[in-house]
């Protein structure tokens, strides 16, 4: 018998249909994964199950939890179910926890709220729960505040709150998306163990097929508010009846067809023993300042035509290094040269050789300017900007090169989707024909199918424009598909470097090995496409 059964669920906001006739059943102790791209309605499905959908949304259909229709319950009854019978785990553990309460208080609060227990016995139980989620009492996590914990530890606390009352169902909405790969592997293993121990039914919502394939008993693929395919994991991957499932799978394992580039021996970028450090806030008013070394003694170079990747987890110093290369960050020691000119003293003429594409397609543009104004901004690097001829035709050309139309130049940035914005960002970087482009996590915020398109575009434009690039990413699959050579960075140091294929297949360094093992992989029992 199933513990949760959703029947013909439809949800409308205004006249827009968000969910359309969703039906599925969840069995005892089973893991159901709901996967799809952004806007497919997977989060809204989760919110509907707990009746937390926005107030202005109109819901139709039935949701049975242990033979009771949740949609007919009033707020008071729902509060008894939420937290106690149905636990929730959210994407961002920092915002899911209250920053001014200790994590121990936040767990015991859930226990006191939903059971007859007093504060004292709740505290003892909290200790047990923390131990179950892998936070040993010796670390005294119970007395700490959320900001004193790492991202992985915080997510463990959130999981602790969700399982505190031994709920029948746990809904996890993108529980590992905000975490590094090595942490992600640990959190997924933890979830898997807890679900088994307590016989919990888990609904796992994620955009990442690779994560799902290893965890779920059953997978539902969603597109535009419809479940296009739902089946046992093995069967789903073997059969892939629906074309959308196939395209999603193909995009997840997408590999760019990188033509071999003409390489020369000329050094484009040389980085010699570069160290960057920040001053930390003083602890006492007259005490000496401490420094945090973000990048320590890093050296490498990029030759003309090379496509180099830089891999590392959050906090490894990638962003600081990027800014240093762009000349936006002071260097404490060492030197960064672009074509034998020191970047910190470089003239505009040298700086015009380097451009950048950032991660966030929403924050990279001034919302008050038109596209044409936005992408011609780098012309300030060229002397006598106004006299650069044919600016308009250059704008048209570059827009067409990145797959947009020249009519798009008169629009404002909010009229474009995330993928289109990233194309505009690439257009802005390419318009003055730089020699080196730095892609700083440029595809991390995109859905898999869009990501595959953008990667193809980058590969193709690099050849057309004769580009070298430094592609910074935490995603090994992306690095594998788009670079010839790669560097692995940890704690501000380069710990391994070599040809991409060699580094990823025969890693020498222990950290590189864990990184590769932790990365979720698509199943190999693939059917013939």
Partner 1 sequence: MKNNSLILGGLLSALVVIAALVSFLWVPFDITQLSIPDKLQTPNEVHWLGTDHFGRDILSMIMIGARTSLAVAILAVGIGFFIGVPLGLVAATKKNSLLDETIMRTNDLIFAFPSLVIAILITALFGAGAMNAIIAIGIFNIPVFARVSRGAALSLWQKEFILAARVSGKSDLRISAEHIFPNIANLLIVQGTIQFSLGILAEAGLSYVGLGTQPPVPSWGRMLADAQTMVSFAPHLAIIPGSAIIVTVLGLNLMGDGLRDLLDPRVRRSRE
Pair type for strands 307-311 and 485-490: parallel
> Per CB under 8 A, does 355 bind partner 1?
yes
d(Cα 204, Cα 215) in Å, to the nearest integer?
9
Which of 237/358 has CB closer to partner 1?
358
Which of 344/526 has CB closer to partner 1?
344
Using an 8 Å Cβ cutoff, are 19 and 54 in contact? no
Residue 359: CB minimum distance to partner 1, A: 8
> Per CB under 8 A, does 348 bind partner 1?
yes
Q: Running DSSP on this structure, what letter comes out for residue 473? A: E
> Per CB under 8 A, does 356 bind partner 1?
yes
Q: How far is CA 89 from the centre of its chain?
A: 17
> Per CB under 8 A, does 339 bind partner 1?
no
Which of 108/319 has CB closer to partner 1?
319
CA distance readout (Å), 104 to 129, 170, 194, 292, 298 = 10, 20, 19, 30, 41
Reduced 3-state DSSP string for 356-388:
EECCCCCCCCCCCCEHHHHHCHHHHHCCCHHHC
Residue 27: CB minimum distance to partner 1, A: 40
Which of 365/469 has CB closer to partner 1?
365
357: phi then psi, degrees, rounded to nearest 5 = -125, 125
Six-digit token string for 303: 């030759």
> Per CB under 8 A, does 367 bind partner 1?
yes
> Per CB under 8 A, does 428 bind partner 1?
yes
Which of 120/288 has CB closer to partner 1?
288
Residue 438: CB minimum distance to partner 1, A: 9
405: phi then psi, degrees, rounded to nearest 5 = -105, 160
Which part of the chain contacts partner 1 (CB under 8 A), choosing from 361-369, 392-400, 480-488, 513-521?
361-369
Exposure class string for 276-290: b at 16+ Cβ within 10 A, else e: bbeeeeeeeeeeeee
Residue 377: CB minimum distance to partner 1, A: 5
Which 3 state secondary structure label does DSSP give 201? strand
- Binders of partner 1 in range 375-414 (CB under 8 A): 377-381
Which of 277/428 has CB closer to partner 1?
428
Binds partner 1 by CB under 8 A, chosen from 42, 114, 277, 323: 323
> Per CB under 8 A, does 510 bind partner 1?
no
> Per CB under 8 A, does 351 bind partner 1?
yes
d(Cα 381, Cα 432) in Å, to the nearest integer?
9
Please count the other Cβ atoms lying within 10 Å of the Cβ belonging to residue 345. Answer: 8
Which part of the chain contacts partner 1 (CB under 8 A), choosing from 106-114, 158-166, 211-219, 363-371?
363-371
Binds partner 1 by CB under 8 A, chosen from 364, 422, 483, 512: 364
Rg (C-alpha) for the chain, rounded Å, is 26
> Per CB under 8 A, does 55 bind partner 1?
no
Residue 355: CB minimum distance to partner 1, A: 6
> Per CB under 8 A, does 366 bind partner 1?
yes
d(Cα 325, Cα 300) in Å, to the nearest integer?
12
Please count the other Cβ atoms lying within 10 Å of the Cβ belonging to residue 196. Answer: 12
Nearest to 171 by CA among 205, 207, 208: 205
Residue 379: CB minimum distance to partner 1, A: 8
Binds partner 1 by CB under 8 A, chosen from 284, 345, 368, 389: 368
For CA atoms 478, 482, 485, 491, give the dihedral sign. Answer: negative
Which of 328/499 has CB closer to partner 1?
328
Which of 126/322 has CB closer to partner 1?
322
Q: Running DSSP on this structure, what letter comes out for residue 403? A: T
List residues near partner 1 by CB under 8 A: 323, 326, 328, 348, 351-352, 354-356, 358-360, 363-368, 377-381, 425, 428
């Amino acid at each position: 018998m199933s513990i949760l059964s959703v029947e013909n669920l439809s949800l409308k906001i205004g006249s827009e249909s968000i969910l359309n006739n969703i039906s599925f059943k969840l069995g005892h102790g089973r893991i159901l994964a709901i996967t799809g791209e952004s806007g497919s309605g997977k989060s809204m499905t989760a919110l509907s199950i707990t009746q937390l959908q926005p107030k202005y949304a109109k819901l139709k259909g039935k949701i049975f939890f242990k033979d009771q229709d949740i949609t007919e319950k009033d707020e008071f009854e729902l509060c008894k179910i939420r937290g106690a019978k149905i636990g929730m785990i959210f994407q961002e553990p920092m915002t899911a926890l209250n920053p001014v309460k200790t994590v121990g208080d936040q767990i015991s609060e859930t226990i006191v709220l939903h059971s007859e227990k007093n504060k004292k016995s709740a505290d003892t139980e909290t200790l047990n729960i923390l131990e179950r989620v892998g936070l040993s009492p010796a670390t005294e996590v119970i007395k700490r505040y959320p900001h004193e914990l790492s991202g992985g530890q915080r997510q463990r606390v959130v999981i602790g709150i969700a399982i505190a009352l031994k709920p029948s169902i746990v809904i996890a909405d993108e529980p590992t998306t905000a975490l590094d790969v090595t942490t992600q592997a640990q959190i997924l293993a933890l979830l898997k163990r807890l679900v088994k121990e307590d016989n919990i039914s888990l609904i796992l919502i994620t955009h990442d097929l690779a994560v799902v394939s290893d965890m779920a008993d059953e997978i539902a693929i969603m597109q535009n508010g419809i479940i296009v395919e739902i089946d046992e994991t093995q069967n789903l991957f073997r059969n892939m009846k629906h074309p959308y499932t196939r395209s999603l799978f193909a995009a997840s394992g997408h590999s760019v067809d990188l033509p071999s580039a003409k390489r020369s021996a000329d050094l484009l970028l040389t980085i010699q023993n570069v160290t960057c450090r920040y001053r930390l806030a003083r602890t006492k008013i007259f005490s000496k300042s401490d420094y945090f070394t973000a990048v320590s003694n890093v050296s490498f170079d990029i030759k003309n035509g090379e496509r180099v990747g830089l891999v590392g987890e959050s906090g490894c110093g990638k962003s600081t290094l990027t800014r240093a290369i762009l000349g936006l960050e002071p260097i404490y020691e060492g030197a960064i040269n672009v074509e034998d000119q020191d970047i910190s003293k470089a003239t505009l003429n040298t700086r015009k050789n380097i451009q950048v594409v950032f991660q966030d397609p929403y924050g990279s543009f001034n919302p008050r300017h038109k596209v044409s104004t936005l992408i011609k901004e780098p012309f300030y690097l060229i002397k006598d900007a106004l006299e650069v001829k044919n600016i308009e035709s250059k704008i048209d050309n570059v827009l067409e090169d990145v797959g947009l139309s020249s009519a798009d130049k008169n629009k404002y940035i909010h009229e474009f989707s995330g993928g289109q914005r990233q194309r505009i960002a690439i257009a802005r970087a390419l318009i003055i024909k730089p020699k080196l482009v730095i892609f700083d996590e440029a595809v991390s915020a995109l859905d898999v199918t869009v990501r595959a398109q953008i990667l193809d575009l980058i590969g193709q434009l690099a050849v057309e424009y004769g580009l070298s690039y430094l592609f910074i990413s935490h995603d090994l699959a992306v690095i594998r598909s788009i670079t010839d050579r790669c560097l692995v960075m940890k704690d501000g140091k380069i710990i391994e470097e070599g040809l991409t294929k060699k580094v990823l297949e025969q890693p020498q360094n222990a950290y590189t090995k864990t990184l590769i093992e932790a990365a979720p992989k698509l199943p190999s029992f693939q059917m013939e496409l």
